[in-house]
Copies of this chain bind each other. A is one copy, B any other.
Amino acid sequence: MRTLTVQLADRSYPIHIGPGLLKRVELMIERMPQKAAALVTNTTVEPLYSRGLVAALEASGVRVVRVVLPDGEAHKNWESLNRIFDLLIAGRCERNTTVIALGGGVVGDLAGFAAAIYQRGTPFIQVPTTLLAHVDSAVGGKTAINHPLGKNMIGAFYQPRVVVIDTDTLETLPAREFAAGVAEVIKYGAIRDAAFFAWLEQHIERVIARDPDALGYAIERSCINKAEVVGQDERETGQRALLNYGHTFGHAIEAGVGYGAWLHGEAVAAGMVLAAKLSRRLGFLGEQEVARITSLLRRARLPVDGPELSVERYFELMAHDKKVEGGRLRFILLRGLGEAFLASDVPVVAVEEALAQRHASDV
């Protein structure tokens, strides 16, 4: 087991990474104010991991209320949130009851947001079971639900007490979801860790094959990057925004094809290629670097072409994105591999050109 720390003064918390950690419930209990928990999971994860975790917690004297949600991004909405509240209230959960999220990014976002606003805030623990959640969504305290007009429109910054990453949970993850998580791993290399990007170019096939050593290293390196950024800019007033590389296009893609049709990581992959093309168009990135990003994503079995939406539709969807400020579109761009920056006032025509060339072969 490796342990990192997210440095946030009196709200600092550990991230434990390793195999077999689902059985080590003491890692959770030591961060709970009392032995009472509400375990939030989904119908897919429940038969795989929930029963064992509940049994282990109960064997240690923890009272556990269970909340099982339907699976999928389409359910990251008020309805699921309200289902959590109904069961928390029915189960007499109190301010000191710890909400535990067991699942992927959707479960983590829903359970975390529920914990943030149930009785104005209850303790929260992340136990992610997908690669995307391991390397991204479980770390850093962003929680939210979707609104019909925009992804993650309603939410809170709310930090967990601890993140417990059991790498064994990836054994059951479907290949498509696994690849979607790799998109965010590659993102860390692209935006702030050129050495890690180069390592991934060497070892991406081992990562995809879920070789324990390669995968463990990729998860740890991703979490280190995420923890550093969050520790410096918790509420995204500055450099944390760089983590959204590929996400302005990505969110438009997710909304444009209908939430759930593309996985978040898939949309981000295609979004990163578009953002790289935009960076190149503005003279910040060379053709060869765009090709390296595209090639690495393709080797990771990720989509690199944007879907068939009109340029007008892309713009319409992006205008609802949170990264709009003062009416102008802002973009995270690259000025080389491993160095992202925030560009305001990106010319509309450059974005149109990048979108017109949304097939990877259009360079």
Interface residues of A (CB under 8 A from B): 34, 78, 82, 85-86, 89, 92, 94-96, 113, 116-121, 142, 144, 147, 149-150, 152-157, 235, 319-320, 322, 324-327
The residue on B at minimum CB distance from A118 is: B154
Question: What's the minimum C-beta distance from A144 to chain B, rounded to whole angstroms?
Answer: 7
Alpha-carbon separation in the docked complex, A279 to B147 (Å) = 48
How many copies of this chain sit in the oligomeric assembly? 2
15 pairs from A and B in contact (CB 8 Å cutoff)? A78-B82, A89-B149, A89-B150, A89-B153, A89-B320, A92-B327, A94-B322, A95-B322, A95-B325, A117-B117, A117-B154, A118-B153, A119-B153, A120-B144, A121-B235
> Is B147's CB under 8 angstroms from A120's CB?
no
A155 partner residues in chain B, CB cutoff 8 A: 117, 119-120
Given known contacts A94-B325, A119-B153, what 13 new A-B pairs fall within 8 Å (CB)? Answer: A78-B82, A89-B149, A92-B319, A92-B324, A94-B324, A95-B322, A116-B156, A117-B156, A118-B153, A119-B322, A120-B142, A120-B156, A121-B156
Max chain B C-beta neighbours (<10 A), residue from A92, A117, A324, A325: A117
* Contacts known (A34-B326, A96-B325, A322-B95); A120 close to B89, Cβ less than 8 A: no
Main secondary structure of the interface of A (DSSP, over half): mixed
Question: What's the minimum C-beta distance from A83 to chain B, rounded to whole angstroms?
Answer: 12
The residue on B at minimum CB distance from A154 is: B117
A322 partner residues in chain B, CB cutoff 8 A: 94-95, 119
A142 partner residues in chain B, CB cutoff 8 A: 120
Alpha-carbon separation in the docked complex, A184 to B94 (Å) = 26
A326 partner residues in chain B, CB cutoff 8 A: 34, 94, 96
Max chain B C-beta neighbours (<10 A), residue from A95, A152, A154: A154
Question: What's the minimum C-beta distance from A326 to chain B, rounded to whole angstroms?
Answer: 7
A327 partner residues in chain B, CB cutoff 8 A: 92
The answer, among B34, B144, B153, B156, for a CB contact under 8 Å with A85, is: B153
A325 partner residues in chain B, CB cutoff 8 A: 94-96
A320 partner residues in chain B, CB cutoff 8 A: 89
The residue on B at minimum CB distance from A145 is: B117
Question: What's the minimum C-beta distance from A302 to chain B, rounded to whole angstroms?
Answer: 27
Question: What's the minimum C-beta distance from A61 to chain B, rounded to whole angstroms?
Answer: 14
* Contacts known (A78-B82, A82-B78, A94-B325); A121 close to B153, Cβ less than 8 A: no
